[in-house]
Amino acid sequence: MSEGSQGVNPQDASLSGSRKLIRNPISLIGLALAAVAFANIVLLVLIDVLASHPSPYIGILAYMVAPAILVVGLVLVPSGMLYERRRRLHAVGVPPHFPRLDLNNPAQRSTVAFVLSFVVMFSLISAVGSYQAYEFTDSVQFCGQLCHTVMYPEFTAYQASPHARVACVDCHVGSGASWYVKSKLSGARQVYYTALGTYPRPIPTPVQNLRPAQQTCEQCHWPKKFWGAQLKTFTHFGSDEQNTPRVIRLLIKTGGGDPSLGQAGEGIHWHMNIANKITYFATDEQRQVIPWVHMEDAQGHVTEYATKDNPPTQEQIDKASKRRMDCIDCHNRPSHIYTPPDLSVDRGITGLSIDATLPFIKQQGVQVLTADYKTSDEAQKAIAENIDKFYRDKYPQIASSKADSIKGSIVELQRIYRTTFFPYMKVNWKTHPNNIGHFYYQGCFRCHDGNHVSKDGKVISKDCNSCHTVIDQVEGGTHVAQIPAQTFKHPVDLGDMTAVNCSDCHSGGVGP
Ligand code: HEC
Ligand code: HEC
Ligand code: HEC
Ligand code: HEC
Ligand code: HEC
Ligand code: HEC
């Protein structure tokens, strides 16, 4: 230092004394802030990397809050120095606008080298940091866990879905900068609503500005993929004393196909997505009531279907905002599936966590699940009390001989409630219809109800064998429908099955 100071004039001396310049309150505060923030970043990043289940808050602290403080600190240091320099120069009375740099001066040289290498290092670190921040705001934790009460239903359902390992953003944002910015802007609005507690409950669905399926689902599943037919087994239990098991095996004709690969186009995907362009409009927000459907086939022939009862007027058709059918119109719950309690209890019994030998357990289980509760805690208590009481009052012997299996069934019913009912957000299976199939909701029958006809008399088919074939049906221990019978035998005779709507009786709650 002393060597460097020798040959310089007083002005330069005051500048090369830059180490002293830093000794001003603003810069010192800045330095302290930066040092603390930096230490925190190192520590938090270590935790984030090493912990097997880091809390989502770690990410927000490590990649967003601490770096912001670091930047503020680092801006304060030179600002304080500039201010200090001005002040000193004013005192001397000779104010050159910029410091004179002399790289022949070893002290200045090392200062410049130090500053330059610091700038390079800091830019590198902050580049990594902003990439981490970008990754973090796209992570499942950020979307699903950070605002836990708001997204809790979606996040819980997601974790039990086939897409539990697909990131939220792969369906909700997709790739590309413009959708990233769009989603973060709408996200910022949501954070604001959340802070004020004014968010809607439940969060409205369908998502109006969901990115088109071509840019999300079709990045992983492509429409022409040939799925063939899929054998699915549906197991239900009656609401009688024996909880009579009823098993249906359906061959669902998913199909698809690309003729150039030597596969005949066939099945649900082929007709709906590839060979035909289908457009429709709905009269309700949730797209459940569809009075008008427009179909254009590969040759360009157009057919328009409208409901026979209560058809829409031409003016309504012209005015309505129409939607081109895509994956989401059938697969609207690929990830957030709020299973109807009827089905949850059936699955509990099939999975042996609810004991099928307990009389009326199916009926009682659905009943306690669907009662009206203000909070999840209230439900947990009521489920235990009511099931216990039912067996103590009606089957005192079983209540004592099968105490353990009653307890186990209660635990499972409580779990079902916790993972499919969200009173705080007003979410349950009724608020979020699933459009695949037609059993608990109208689903395919929104159009395939036999009531949508064209001017020349064509009907959107409700033929029971157009989408699937019954392979087998077991009631109790007996096969009631089997190939070659190929028809579904309803447990209660309803006459012509094409004249009924399943969900009129099968509400997914109390009832058949
Ligand atoms: C496999 C794709 C997929 C994944 C993964 C996914 N979602 Fe969704 N999400 C959807 C679809 C499809 C809808 C409903 C679309 C419709 O009906 O308009 C939806 C709807 C929503 C809704 C609106 C309310 C509702 O239930 O309809 C919220 C909130 C939501 N998702 C949050 C999330 C969060 C948080 C994650 C990650 C934890 C996530 N989503 C992961 C596809 C996905
Ligand atoms: C990041 C890739 C990815 C994206 C995006 C994606 N999926 Fe999937 N999807 C998968 C994988 C992987 C599976 C298989 C999961 C398994 O069987 O464990 C799957 C399975 C499915 C299944 C079969 C479910 C079942 O019950 O077995 C359907 C239906 C489906 N996806 C529809 C969709 C729809 C609709 C979207 C858009 C909203 C979508 N997927 C977006 C990767 C993706
Ligand atoms: C007309 C309604 C409809 C449309 C539109 C539709 N699907 Fe499907 N898809 C089905 C049905 C029905 C099944 C049979 C599975 C079931 O019943 O759960 C199915 C099955 C699937 C499966 C699982 C196949 C298997 O064998 O496991 C995937 C994946 C899938 N669809 C993806 C898509 C994608 C991606 C799109 C959009 C390009 C799409 N679907 C459009 C009705 C539809
Ligand atoms: C928005 C209305 C709409 C919905 C919802 C809908 N479809 Fe369709 N579907 C149509 C139309 C229109 C046609 C073509 C009818 C024709 O051939 O003129 C069609 C044709 C089909 C065909 C070919 C039928 C045949 O006889 O060739 C299958 C299979 C099919 N749909 C399955 C499904 C399944 C499965 C669902 C539910 C997951 C579903 N559709 C939901 C409108 C709909
Ligand atoms: C437009 C296509 C379509 C038509 C028409 C149709 N189904 Fe289905 N059906 C489906 C699909 C898709 C599923 C599978 C849903 C799923 O994967 O959960 C299904 C499921 C079922 C199931 C099993 C339900 C369960 O969850 O246990 C039965 C039973 C059934 N259909 C009977 C019928 C009968 C009876 C008819 C005639 C009135 C009929 N279907 C007409 C598409 C159709
Ligand atoms: C008029 C009312 C009514 C209609 C409409 C109706 N069902 Fe049912 N369904 C019943 C009754 C009652 C039972 C017997 C319930 C029991 O024993 O617990 C039943 C039982 C069933 C079962 C056995 C599963 C169970 O939970 O016990 C299946 C599967 C079924 N129906 C499918 C269908 C399908 C598919 C349709 C539409 C094509 C349909 N039902 C329409 C009244 C109806």
Q: Is 173 in the pocket of ligand 1 (CB under 6 A)?
A: no
Q: Where does residue 345 rank: exposed (0-12), middle (13-18), buried (19+ CB within 10 A)?
A: buried
Average pLDDT, the chain: 85
49 and 108 Cβ atoms separated by less than 8 Å: no
267 and 468 Cβ atoms separated by less than 8 Å: no
pLDDT at 174 over 80: no
pLDDT at 480 over 90: no
Reported as a pLDDT band with limits 50, 70 and 90, residue 96 is low
154 and 420 Cβ atoms separated by less than 8 Å: no
Exposure string of 403-435, with b = 16+ CB inside 10 Å and e = fewer, is eebbebbbebbbebbebbbbbebebbbebbbbb
CA distance 47 to 41: 10
265 and 255 Cβ atoms separated by less than 8 Å: yes
CA distance 123 to 117: 10
Angle at 453 between CA 452 and CA 456, to 5 degrees: 170
Query: Given ligand 4 and candidates 250, 251, 268, which is best to mutate, with the most ligand atoms within 8 Å of its CB?
Result: 268
Nearest ligand, measured from the Cα of 230: 3
Nearest ligand, measured from the Cα of 236: 6
Reported as a pLDDT band with limits 50, 70 and 90, residue 171 is confident
Nearest ligand, measured from the Cα of 202: 1
CA distance 422 to 375: 8
pLDDT at 10 over 60: no
Nearest ligand, measured from the Cα of 234: 5
**Nearest Cα residue to atom 6 of ligand 1:** 168
Q: Is 303 in the pocket of ligand 4 (CB under 6 A)?
A: yes
304 and 472 Cβ atoms separated by less than 8 Å: no
CA distance 245 to 67: 60
CA distance 208 to 101: 59
Nearest ligand, measured from the Cα of 168: 1
**What does the pLDDT average to over 404-427?**
96
Question: Can you tell me which residue has the tokens 């808050």?
Answer: 57
Cα end-to-end span (Å), the chain: 91
Region of residue 110 (left: phi > 0; alpha: psi -120 to 50; beta: else): alpha
Query: Given ligand 3 and candidates 249, 331, 333, which is best to mutate, with the most ligand atoms within 8 Å of its CB?
Result: 331
**Portion of the chain with pLDDT greater than 90, in percent:** 46
The pLDDT value recorded for residue 223 is 80
CA distance 52 to 50: 6
**Nearest Cα residue to atom 11 of ligand 4:** 460
Per-residue CA distances from 174 to 178, 225, 238, 282, 500 (Å): 10, 21, 43, 26, 41
446 and 510 Cβ atoms separated by less than 8 Å: no
The pLDDT value recorded for residue 235 is 96
Write out residues with Cβ below 6 Å of ligand 3.
213, 217-218, 221, 223, 227, 230, 252, 254, 268-269, 272-273, 325-327, 329-331, 436-437
CA distance 414 to 353: 12
What is the atom index within ligand 1 of the atom nearest the CA of 334? 1
CA distance 45 to 58: 8
Write out residues with Cβ below 6 Å of ligand 2.
162-163, 166, 170-171, 213, 216-217, 219-221, 327, 331, 334
pLDDT at 230 over 60: yes
Q: How many residues does the chain have?
A: 512
CA distance 358 to 366: 14
Number of CB atoms found within 10 A of residue 239's CB: 20
What is the atom index within ligand 5 of the atom nearest the CA of 268? 2
Q: Which residues contact 158 (CB under 8 A, 6 or more apart)?
A: 144, 164, 168, 335, 336
Distance 336 CA to ligand 1 centre (A): 6
Query: Given ligand 4 and candidates 272, 293, 294, 458, which is best to mutate, with the most ligand atoms within 8 Å of its CB?
Result: 272
What is the atom index within ligand 4 of the atom nearest the CA of 278? 12
CA distance 298 to 278: 11
Query: Given ligand 6 and candidates 233, 506, 510, which is best to mutate, with the most ligand atoms within 8 Å of its CB?
Result: 506
CA distance 433 to 375: 22
pLDDT winner (highest mean) among 74-88, 245-259, 378-392: 378-392
Range with lowest mean pLDDT among 44-48, 98-102, 407-411, 412-416: 98-102
Q: Is 88 in the pocket of ligand 1 (CB under 6 A)?
A: no
Contacts 24+ apart (CB under 8 A), 262-269: 263/226, 267/227, 267/228, 267/229, 268/467, 269/223, 269/227
26 and 83 Cβ atoms separated by less than 8 Å: yes
**Portion of the chain with pLDDT greater than 70, in percent:** 87
Q: Is 171 in the pocket of ligand 1 (CB under 6 A)?
A: yes
List, for residues 21-46, the tens digit of each pLDDT value.
888 888 889 998 898 888 888 888 88
Query: Given ligand 1 and candidates 172, 218, 219, which is best to mutate, with the most ligand atoms within 8 Å of its CB?
Result: 172
